[in-house]
A and B are shown apart, each in its own frame.
Chain A
Amino acid sequence: MDNKYINKMLAEMDKDLSSKGLSRREAMKMAGISGASFFMGGASSAEAAEEVAPASVAKGKIVIIGGGLAGMSTARRLTNFLSNPDITVIEPEALSVSYQPGQTLVAAGIWEENDIAYKRDEYVPDGVKLIKDKAIAFDPKNNTVTTASGEVVSYDYMVVAAGLQLDFERIKGLEAAGRAYSAGDNKKLLDALGDSISSIYTAQGATKTWEQMQKYIAQAKQAKPGEKVQFVFTHPGTPIKCGGAPKKIVYLTNARLKEAGARENADLTYYPAGGAMFGVPEYHDAILEQFKREGFKWHYRHDLTEVEPENKIAVFDSKWQEKGEWDPQMREFEVIGKHEKLRVPYDFLHITPAQLAPREIAESDIGSAKGWVPVNKETLQHIKFRNIFAIGDIAQVPMGKTGGSVRKQYKVLVENLIAEMEGKKLPAKYAGYTVCPLITSIGTVMLAEFDWTVTPTPLVPLDPTVERWMWWLMKVYALKPMTIYGMIVTGKA
């Protein structure tokens, strides 16, 4: 990134800001110099007042299932607001607090795996007990949890922050990969993916993606005239962590290909299972324009079902709709869903796997028919068990599987859990805010913020569909310390 580029970005940013009556200094102050916390949802005056609220004397044994960002931040914040906390976190993975949003940057060779690896044991809040085991059975009627080693843990209140599982095993040809979590040892998964398939959805997989990306970029550099190296990217038909990530890896591959002078010798093709680029129309339109500008190809309603690594073929279930029979009751023609198998050759295949609630939760009384923990989407309280709350990826909350969502949710959850412990009405409501810093190149990010209104909800009064260097700086420099320090260490951000 040279000075000319930076000056151009700054000039564009200044022009945009001045139309809003803001100087760059004022914008940067809002954007982070005065507190990067705005980046993941800002801090309202109500929240600031809450920080000085006296600690509650409410009592009760709280068990938190899962010690990732959601679980550990919740534990830390509870210790801020309870005068005599009795909190136990059950978490088997030693690197559970690792910084997952950085996996895209690892996959593009900007960070290394060590930059995002954080040890669970160093981030357990003072006074909080840690059980280094996996919760495998839930008995909400008797308020107990059983761990893999057979320990029965009782609770008065439970917070489920168990995360989700990456379901590679549903793809024919990758059955041996099994299901995986983002952090930890994923050797079995990497072995199953082999040499030409990658996925940024695990930390180790992100490193391997960068290795594979370099290999196929080198191949593109040496391609004969008319030859094109095929980079293929997938997006499944289930809710996923960070809906923008499958596209970020397309953009980053594109940036690295351009940097290597090999872009002309490569096709980048994106196969989403759904029918749009993004759930918010304004962001969908912006991404579509970016895809056109960069010369990407895309095919909606293609769900990856099978791979043949030996032949380098990805098999998709391709869906479309056709006009059906006349429906005399509805007085219209029916819409008939059709589908067929499509075999797509690839050189480099990036898989975003389907994502599911862990089996032990999906099959228990605390899970819903779809597996996720069913909670009131505003209070985060379980719809059947008043003493159970859920947060983060495992909670059945629409559009909530990002760190930006957790940053809003954990404050709501703590306030409501303490109210429940005090026998009061639950006061706090989650409004669905989430944020996706969509990396569109090395040096630019479109900050997609939205909530349940399904419209852009930018915290800084700038056009949210514009790619900016300012947001890149935030993504690369401010977000990680804000998450690890602000949320997990202090429970305040």
Chain B
Amino acid sequence: MQVKFELVTYDDAIDKFEQDDNVYLLELDDEQTQTYNLLKDKDLSLYNWFKESEFFLNWIKEEVYPKSVGKKIAISDINGISFLRFYFFKVTSGDIHYEYFKKMFDILHELDWQDREDVGEEILERLVVKRQELIIELQDDAAQIALSDSNSNA
């Protein structure tokens, strides 16, 4: 099957993400398709599977961003499953994102007093850490292998 990806690039110096306006297509083999179908309802599990898969990283380095060692990217959409909220959430973002992050970060629901601005600030604080987990740094092959080894040993 074919999977459509949208990506963002991350600039360390200004701590900002920028949308890459292209849509990239990746062909999955049968085994990968099976895994995709198993994980497609769990957005972050799906994200992490791609992030940690050699075939995906190789595709990014060889076809999407060739000769870009050191570049930092993140996935913003996988076949319509959006991750934009992780990079661009603001206090003025919609309620649906608040609900998503409140559940993810275990921000308890004291509706009778919690203030939108307060909750929004707390989400932004937590996202500082979460974003770092999502960023993919493109390495040369040897470093990428070492990185994935250390990840699997962690």
A243/B112 contact (C-beta < 8 A), A329-B19, A330-B84, A330-B85 known: yes
Query: Inside 8 A of A276's CB, which chain B residues have their CB?
Result: 111-112
- A331 and B97 CA atoms in complex are apart in Å by 12
* Chain B residues whose C-beta falls within 8 Å of the C-beta of A284 in the assembled complex: 111
Residue interface mask B77-89, A partner, CB < 8 A = 1: 0000010110111
Name the segment of B33-41, B114-122, B135-143, B144-152 touching the other chain: B114-122
Given A327-B90, A334-B92: A272 and B109 interface contact (C-beta under 8 Å): no
Bound complex: CA A399 to CA B97 (Å): 23
Complex interface: chain B residues within 8 A of A238 (CB): 113
Cβ < 8 Å to B, chain A residues 269-286? 272-279, 284
Q: How many angstroms between the C-alpha atoms of A276 and B113 in the bound complex? A: 8
* Structural contact, A329 and B88, CB atoms closer than 8 A: yes
User: B85, A279: Cβ atoms under 8 Å?
Assistant: no
Contact status A454-B112, CB under 8 Å: no
Is the beta-carbon distance between B109 and A330 smaller than 8 angstroms?
no
Q: Once the chains bind, are B112 and A327 in contact (CB under 8 Å)?
A: no
Kindly name the residue among B84, B113, B115 whose own CB sees the greatest number of chain A CB atoms within 10 A.
Answer: B113
CB of A18, distance to nearest CB on chain B (Å): 34
Known: A330-B90, A334-B93. A277 touches B19 (CB 8 A): no
- Counting CB contacts under 8 A, is B70 at the interface? no
Cβ of A275: which chain B residues have Cβ within 8 Å of it? 111
A452 to chain B, nearest CB (A): 6
Please, how many angstroms separate the alpha-carbon atoms of A452 and B94 in the complex?
24
Task: Identify the interface centre among A235, A278, A329: most chain B CB within 10 Å of its CB.
Answer: A329
Question: Taking the nearest CB of chain B, how far is it from the CB of A1, in angstroms?
Answer: 30
Task: Kindly state whether residue B108 has any CB partner on chain A within 8 Å.
Answer: yes
Q: Is B95 close to A, CB under 8 A?
A: yes
Q: Which B3-42 residues sit within 8 Å CB-CB of chain A? A: 19
The one of B84, B89, B97, B113 in contact with A274, judged by C-beta atoms closer than 8 angstroms, is B113
In the bound complex, residues from chain B placing their C-beta under 8 Å from that of A332 are 93-94
Q: Provide the residues of chain A in CB contact with B109, threshold 8 Å.
A: 279, 454
A324 to B115, CA, bound (A): 19
A97 at the interface (CB under 8 A from B): no
Expressed in whole angstroms, the minimum distance between the Cβ of A195 and any Cβ of chain B is 29
**In this assembly, does A54 line the interface, its C-beta being within 8 Å of a C-beta of chain B?**
no
Question: Known: A329-B19, A398-B108, A452-B108. Contact between A334 and B113, CB under 8 A?
Answer: no
Which size class do B's interface residues fall under?
A: 20 to 34
Q: Is A392 an interface residue (CB 8 A)?
A: no
* CA gap between A274 and B116 in the complex, in Å: 9
Cα of A324 to Cα of B116 in the assembled complex, Å: 16
Cα separation A243 to B108 with both chains bound (whole Å)? 15
Across the interface, A330 reaches (CB within 8 A) one of B88, B111, B112, namely B88
* Contact indicator A335/B93 (Cβ below 8 Å): yes
| Most B-side CB within 10 Å, residue of A240, A336, A337 | A337
Can you name the residue of chain B whose Cβ is closest to the Cβ of A330? B88
Q: How many residues of A contact B (CB 8 A)?
A: 32
Q: Which of A239, A274, A337 contacts B117 (CB 8 A)?
A: A337
Roughly how many angstroms separate A462 CA and B117 CA in the complex, as a whole number?
38
Q: Are A277 and B84 in contact (CB under 8 A)?
A: no
The minimal Cβ–Cβ distance linking A451 to chain B, given in whole angstroms, is: 10
Contacts of A331 in B (CB 8 A): 82, 84
Q: How far is it, in angstroms, between the C-alpha of A272 and the C-alpha of B114 when the chains are bound?
A: 11
**A420–B99 alpha-carbon span in the complex (Å):** 37
Q: In the complex the two chains form, is A335's CB within 8 Å of B94's CB?
A: yes
Q: A329-B84, A337-B116, A337-B117 are contacts. A279–B92 as well, Cβ < 8 Å?
A: no
A236 within 8 A of B: yes
Give every chain A residue within 8 A of B114 (Cβ-Cβ): 274
Asked whether B113 lies within 8 Å of A240 as measured between CB atoms, the reply is yes
A335–B95 touching, CB < 8 Å:
yes
A243 to B111, CA, bound (A): 11
Q: Tell me if B115 and A237 are in contact (CB < 8 A).
A: yes
Residues on B with beta carbons closer than 8 Å to the beta carbon of A272: 112
Q: Which residue of A lies closest to B8 (CB)?
A: A329
On whether the beta carbons of B94 and A273 are closer than 8 Å, the reply is no
Inter-chain contact B92/A324, CB cutoff 8 Å:
yes
Q: Which residues of B contact A240 (CB under 8 A)?
A: 113
Chain A residues, Cβ within 8 Å of B116: 337
Q: Is the beta-carbon distance between A399 and B110 smaller than 8 angstroms?
A: yes
**B-chain residues with CB within 8 Å of residue A235 when the two chains form the complex:** 112-113
When distances are taken between beta carbons in the complex, the residues of chain A under 8 Å from B117 are: 337
Contact (Cβ within 8 A) B111 A334: no
* A239 lies within 8 A of B108 (CB): no
23 interchain pairs (CB within 8 A)? Answer: A235-B112, A235-B113, A243-B113, A274-B112, A274-B113, A276-B112, A279-B110, A324-B92, A327-B90, A329-B19, A329-B87, A330-B88, A330-B94, A330-B97, A331-B82, A334-B90, A334-B92, A335-B93, A335-B95, A337-B92, A337-B116, A398-B108, A399-B110
Contact surface of A with B, Cβ cutoff 8 Å: 235-240, 243, 272-279, 284, 324, 327, 329-337, 398-399, 432, 452, 454
Q: Which 6 A-B pairs have the closest CB atoms?
A: A398-B108, A276-B111, A329-B88, A334-B92, A274-B112, A279-B111
